[in-house]
Amino acid sequence: MIEVKNLVKIYETKKGCVTGVDQVSLTVKKGEVYGIVGYSGAGKSSLIRCLNLLEKPTSGEIHIDGVELTTLSKTELRKARLKIGMIFQHFHLVSAKTVSENIAFALKAAGLPKAKIHDRVTELLDMVGLSDKKDVYPAQLSGGQKQRVGIARALANNPSVLLCDEATSALDPSTTKSILSLLKKINSELGITIVLITHEMEVVKTICDRMAVMQDGKIIEEGDVYEVFANPKQSLTKDFVNSILQFELPERLLEERQGKLIKIYFQGEIAEQGVISDVFQTFKVRGNILHGKIEYIQDIPLGIFIMEITGEQVEMDRAIAYIAARTKNLEVIDDAA
């Protein structure tokens, strides 16, 4: 488990002091995947680098598996860091060493007996799907393969925590998907707690159990991923969610509307029920779906549909009231009637 209490990181610059992390407190449960999302400059990189003391906090506490890192001596901290793996956006591989040598370096640094290093490297290469690349150099690898080496190196000493600093930002969408699948597999099979930072909500949606949104060094919203997507509270969180779930209708579709334009949010099992078809069978209205989308977050459906309902005023009102009662979330966005 990771517990952060009142963490502050202040940088001294020529122009004065800059607060990178501002009184952040959070708890990451053992074995979960926790995402921290924010735009550039939000403080998320500073926060994650404080978790293993690559950045020394100005104040606050960091507890990992019951150990308060900020109180440790240099020797104790080196030992504690063996249980905290980290992967980086730009891989940080040693270009003059082969794939095997890059991974073995972490094992040698930890003092693993030479006789055991070969077997452990072989095991790690198999885990990340690079058994056939053990003797090649980083320059001969694709971006996704380089990140797999980075993951293998981070796992070398059997950490209990894996920190991911924008681990997929330099990768194309297809490769990102494969890396996220690998991380989810590692989390599931090894029980490793994963903390990742990103500016991409798609990453959070795909892999995380819980999440936090950072802005100006502070955590402004936190919760279960599905709940944050379904009911974002802060304007920045809504912007992030909109990048995944929302859409703008072309102006031509908004012209010459004759009925009511409504936006319907379907959450959970209701998204898989025939609410709209029931409306057309029950009320004397017509409907025209202009846009719609269903995303599956943590295997739970979350849908948004925009549609126009036409008919007599009374029937439209009754139909809308019925949909609102079934979905618990409906918004009339234009009422030409």
DSSP string, 250-291: -HHHHTT--SEEEEEEEEGGGGGS-HHHHHHHHSSEEEEEEE
This model's pTM is above 0.85: yes
Say how far apart CA 85 and CA 79 lie, in whole Å.
Answer: 12
Contact 296, 220 (CB under 8 A): no
Q: How confident is the model at residue 336 (pLDDT cuts 50, 70, 90)?
A: low
Residue 243's closest CA among 255, 257, 256, 232?
Answer: 232
CB 114 within 8 A of CB 145: no
How far apart, in whole angstroms, are the C-alpha atoms of residue 320 and residue 264?
A: 10
Q: What is the pLDDT of residues 134-172, one digit of tens each?
A: 999 999 999 999 999 999 999 999 999 999 998 898 889
**pLDDT tens sequence across 98-140:** 999 999 998 988 888 888 999 999 999 999 999 999 999 999 9
Domains and CATH numbers, the chain: 2-243 (3.40.50.300), 251-335 (3.30.70.260)
Q: Which residues, 6+ apart, have CB-to-CB distance to 12 below 8 Å?
A: none
pLDDT tens-digit map of 241-253: 888 877 677 776 6
